């Protein structure tokens, strides 16, 4: 019922990426609790007082990692779904999905652990390669209909 092997492969990697995003969100919440750095006064009041309604550099780092995931994984979900419908080779599609996913995991690890530059930038750029490739292939597939 789900369709082709390519689509099933895309669903697998997409689901892993979404779970990774949930994990980053949970980490952010746990760091907020540990650092007592809450974004909302009502949360701060519940955990010790309004003085804990403040920012913390590591909480902000976790938030930026999560925001970066949303900026990059959401377009991948669109591109990968459409790309899966264009009938690509399974091996090529799997390589696209694998490279993107591994690069995004590396990007998150580099962000959360503040790894030396250019680790995070390298992971970002490598993750963009399959996205640009999929976008070009989609455009080539539908260009005659525009």
Are 59 and 28 contacting, i.e. CB atoms less than 8 angstroms apart? yes
| Number of structural domains found in the chain | 1
Q: Is residue 52 part of a domain?
A: yes
List all residues 6 or more positions away from 75 whose beta carbon is below 8 Å from its beta carbon.
Answer: 131
CA distance 32 to 11: 32
What's CA 18's distance to the chain center, in Å? 7
Average pLDDT over residues 110-116: 98
Query: Which band of pLDDT confidence, cut at 50, 70 and 90, is reported for residue 1?
Result: low
Q: Is residue 74 part of a domain?
A: yes
CATH number assigned to the domain comprising residue 30: 1.20.120.550
Q: Is residue 48 part of a domain?
A: yes
CA distance 104 to 120: 9
pLDDT for residue 2 is more than 80: no
Range of the domain at 67: 5-140
Q: Is residue 119 part of a domain?
A: yes
Q: Is residue 145 part of a domain?
A: no
Q: Is residue 25 part of a domain?
A: yes
Whether the link from the prior residue into 68 is cis, omega within 30° of 0, is no
Dihedral pair phi/psi, residue 38, rounded to 5°: -105, 145
Average pLDDT over residues 107-130: 98
Q: Over the stretch 38-68, which tens digit does the pLDDT of each residue have? A: 999 999 999 999 999 999 999 999 999 999 9
Q: Is residue 113 part of a domain?
A: yes
Are 32 and 59 contacting, i.e. CB atoms less than 8 angstroms apart? yes
pTM of the model: 0.94
């Amino acid at each position: 019922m789900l369709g082709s092997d390519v689509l099933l492969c895309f669903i697998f990697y997409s689901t892993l990426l979404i779970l990774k995003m949930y994990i980053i969100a949970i980490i952010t919440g746990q760091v907020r609790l540990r650092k007592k750095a809450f974004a909302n006064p009502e949360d701060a009041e519940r955990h010790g007082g309004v003085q804990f309604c403040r920012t913390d550099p590591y909480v902000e780092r976790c938030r930026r990692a999560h925001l970066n995931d949303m900026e990059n994984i959401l377009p991948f979900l669109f591109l990968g779904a459409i790309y899966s419908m264009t009938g690509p080779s399974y091996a090529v599609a799997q390589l696209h999905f694998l490279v993107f996913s591994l690069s995004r995991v590396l990007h998150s690890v580099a962000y959360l652990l503040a790894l030396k530059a250019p680790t995070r930038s390298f992971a970002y750029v490598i993750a963009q390669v399959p996205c640009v490739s999929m976008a070009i292939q989609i455009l080539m597939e539908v260009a005659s209909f525009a």
